[in-house]
Amino acid sequence: MPDDIVLRLDRATAEDLYVALYEAGEHIAAGAPITPPTTEEVERLGSFLRDLAHALDRRCSSYCDHL
């Protein structure tokens, strides 16, 4: 399909994304606390968000490494 976006994730990033989404959902649903991510998790999720933004044709910041 022409509007599909496909990104490949390594297992660690997929796990980080799952935990972030799950904890956000639990926080919204029941007010459960959100566990702060580790530095490594932040870096992996940041890279994922950058790649997703690129795939969505979002305008990049001046810090984007491909500019």
DSSP structure string for 17-45 = HHHHHHHHHHHHHH-PPPPPPPHHHHHHH
| 40-67 as b/e: b if 16+ CB within 10 A | ebeebbeebebeeeeeeeeeeeeeeeee
Specify the pTM. Answer: 0.74
Token reading at 20: 């972030």
Tell me: the pLDDT tens digits for 3-61?
A: 899 889 999 999 999 999 999 998 899 988 888 999 999 999 999 998 888 888 886 67
Contacts of 55 (CB under 8 A, 6+ apart): 5, 7
